[in-house]
Amino acid sequence: MKVFFREFFKRGFLAAGGGPLILAIIYFIIGKTGTVQSFSPNEISLGIISILIMAFIAGGITAIYQCEKLPLVSSILIHAAVLYLDYLIMYLLNDWIPKNAFAIGVFSAIFVTGFALVWLIIYFITKNQAKDLNSLRAK
């Protein structure tokens, strides 16, 4: 467990650096498209802190795959649950999605679809790499 937390914080701090940069790009695009004319200092501060926390947790939780001796399915479910709660709480806190059942349902469907799609891509890439390595080894 000690190794997990050390790795969690290391990965979290590495990922957290990119979060505010991504938020700045999003705010820049929103400003240029005229969607929002201005942000208050409180909105900007809350957005930066929220993205920093989201990136930290998203980067840190990936340590579950290397540090804990859990079955892969358990690790994937823990990873998904932590990311889902991380994103949902921050989205609601910042009013990035409305606080109603329909919006949360749409968010949940998009999250599950996106998470599953990423894992399917990882699965097929890994499967092909293993097949290639096995064919090289057989030669």
Poorest-pLDDT segment among 16-25, 55-64, 107-116? 16-25
Strand locations in 25-99, DSSP E?
A: none
Res 87 pLDDT > 90: yes
Angle at CA of residue 74, ends 68 and 80, nearest 5°: 100
As a whole number of angstroms, the longest Cα–Cα distance in the chain is 64
Rounded to two decimals, the pTM is: 0.77
At residue 33, does pLDDT exceed 70?
yes
Mean pLDDT of the 111-138 span? 89
DSSP 95: T
pLDDT at residue 36 is higher than 80: no
Q: What is the DSSP letter of 96?
A: S
Given a cut of 80, whether residue 20 has pLDDT beyond it is no
Q: Which of 13-17, 28-32, 107-111 has the highest mean pLDDT?
A: 107-111
Residue 92 pLDDT grade (very low, low, confident, very high; cuts 50, 70, 90): very high
Q: What is the pLDDT of residues 39-67, one digit of tens each?
A: 788 888 888 889 889 989 998 998 898 87
